[in-house]
């Protein structure tokens, strides 16, 4: 009788457990045991407890106007990942992705090759207009940006997102767009937090313009924590078969010393003279590692601009240019440095720049997120418009005022939907998300009844 009662009790408990509704959860990251998510601490990136340096290449087959997502084309991905492995890169930057398509297969191929991806969240149709930033900063634009985050947040080898690329240039009036770039960065960081994703770094890729270089860098790292970027990157072509001093890189290191957040080169690789890529040696040396975290060479695919090192197609064919071998040789010659590179363990905000003849931003206040975009923070962005949408630059639903500093902080206290394995390796102290406790309850009760039954026999 005791055994019958025990079995009946267990059956009741099991049926209760089976009837417990399973909550809808966000799709979990695709895990790879030896490729943990990269995190930010101090002024450096980290892969677990090891300093992570970006040793990569810019990837935009078809060029800036090609409207091509290379991560959605598996054949293209297979062809090019094989070439990336020859080069020895650990990161690629992708300038344009289709947020309406799946990327699982290509992202897995990249992860299996040990390669991380930096994603530009904008496309030509969904981006800020530097000369009409207020109109182009609207809820339709942000829906596309957030949909891109949704498409790539689940992959542990998504290293970072760019909120913009060279929106501010050497035309003085373009500096007025800076507060909209900064607002977009704030919104992306808040969206990542509110949607429960792991803390994927968000920053800006700047043009290297001498008259506003430091104002822009300071601006992207000033203000309240919600307004500051996770990193700052810029495109630098000043090393032209020269050296650390003649290129002016020594002075830039001095300028950025004590900046407080990670810095890396989002593009480099002058083509004025023979490209031997000796600048990699400087990037990996103690002359720079205390301030810089590596860089991305521009670029992989041969286009009309003459920077590419591989001529692609047709089909699976790849013609490696002489610069391909030069880059691979330099990557091998200048390996990742050991130790922490002299990084700064603490982060700090910069002082906001003041208005002058080269910098026209006259307030530290940022535009408030458009009212129509607020719902995305709770409900998600939904299906992205992809690369064939109608565009957003002239859409309605713009910002109607300034934001209160601090209002862009994430309001969701739920744990991020990231793999526990990645969190263990990265040293993250964030929770592992909600866990269905029913199996543990059942196991405990089974042990209790078993013990009780044994004692009663």
Catalytic residues: 166, 267
CA distance 148 to 79: 24
Q: What is the DSSP letter of 71?
A: G
Alpha helices in 69-117 (DSSP H): 74-87, 104-112
CA distance 371 to 369: 6
Beta bridge partners of 434: none
Taking CA atoms, 369 is separated from 90, 162, 196, in Å, by: 35, 18, 19
List CB contacts of 315: < 8 A, sequence separation 6 or more.
75
**With contact defined as beta carbons under 8 Å apart, do 425 and 50 qualify?**
no
Neighbours of 290 (CB within 10 A): 17
CA distance 109 to 107: 5
Provide the CA 100 distance to its chain's centre, in angstroms: 18
Taking CA atoms, 368 is separated from 33, 111, 322, 428, 444, in Å, by: 41, 37, 50, 31, 51
> What is the dihedral sign for C-alpha 42, 44, 45, 49?
negative
Peptide linkage before 172 cis (omega within 30 of 0): no
Beta bridge partners of 354: none
Helix and strand totals (H; E) in the chain: 13, 13
Question: Please, what's the largest Cα pairwise distance for the chain?
Answer: 92
Taking CA atoms, 60 is separated from 117, 269, 277, in Å, by: 12, 15, 20
Peptide linkage before 157 cis (omega within 30 of 0): no
> What is the dihedral sign for C-alpha 290, 120, 56, 158?
positive
CA dihedral 388, 391, 397, 398 (to 10 degrees): 140
């Amino acid at each position: 009788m005791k055994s019958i009662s025990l079995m009946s009790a267990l059956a009741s408990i099991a049926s209760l457990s089976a009837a417990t509704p399973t909550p809808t959860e966000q799709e979990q990251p695709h895990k790879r045991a030896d490729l943990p998510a990269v995190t930010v601490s101090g002024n450096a990136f980290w892969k677990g407890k090891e300093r992570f340096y970006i040793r990569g290449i810019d990837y935009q087959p078809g060029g800036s106007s090609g409207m091509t997502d290379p991560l959605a084309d598996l054949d293209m991905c297979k062809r090019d990942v094989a070439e990336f492995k020859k080069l020895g890169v650990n990161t690629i930057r992708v300038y344009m992705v289709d947020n309406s398509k799946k990327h699982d297969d290509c992202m897995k191929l990249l992860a299996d090759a040990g390669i991380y991806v930096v994603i530009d969240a904008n496309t030509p149709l969904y981006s800020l207009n530097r000369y009409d930033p207020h109109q182009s900063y609207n809820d339709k634009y942000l829906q596309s940006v957030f949909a891109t985050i949704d498409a790539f947040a689940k992959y542990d080898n998504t290293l970072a997102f760019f909120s913009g690329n060279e929106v501010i240039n050497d035309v003085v009036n373009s500096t007025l767009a800076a507060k909209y770039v900064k607002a977009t960065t704030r919104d992306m960081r808040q969206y990542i937090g509110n949607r429960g994703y792991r803390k994927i770094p968000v920053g800006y890729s700047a043009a290297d313009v001498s008259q506003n270089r430091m104002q822009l860098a300071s601006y992207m790292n000033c203000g309240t924590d919600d307004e500051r970027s996770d990193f700052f990157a810029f495109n630098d072509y000043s090393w032209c078969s020269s050296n650390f001093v003649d290129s002016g890189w020594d002075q830039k290191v001095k300028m950025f010393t004590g900046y407080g957040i990670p810095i890396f080169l989002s593009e480099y690789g002058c083509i004025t003279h023979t490209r031997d890529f000796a600048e990699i040696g400087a990037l990996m040396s103690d002359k720079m590692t205390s301030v810089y975290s590596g860089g991305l060479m521009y670029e992989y695919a041969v286009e009309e601009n003459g920077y590419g090192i591989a001529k692609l197609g047709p089909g699976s064919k790849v013609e490696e240019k002489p610069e391909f071998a030069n880059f691979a040789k330099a990557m091998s010659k200048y390996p990742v440095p050991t130790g922490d590179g002299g990084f700064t363990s603490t982060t700090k905000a910069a002082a906001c720049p003041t208005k002058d003849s080269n910098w026209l931003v006259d307030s530290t206040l940022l535009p408030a997120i458009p009212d129509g975009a607020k719902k995305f923070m709770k409900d998600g962005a939904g299906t992205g418009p992809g690369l064939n949408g109608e565009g957003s630059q002239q859409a309605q639903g713009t910002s109607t005022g300034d934001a209160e500093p601090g209002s862009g902080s994430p309001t969701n206290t739920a744990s991020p939907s990231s793999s526990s394995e990645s969190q263990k390796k990265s040293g993250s102290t964030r929770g592992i998300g909600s866990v269905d406790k029913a199996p543990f309850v059942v196991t405990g009760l089974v042990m209790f009844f078993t013990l009780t039954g044994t004692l009663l026999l």
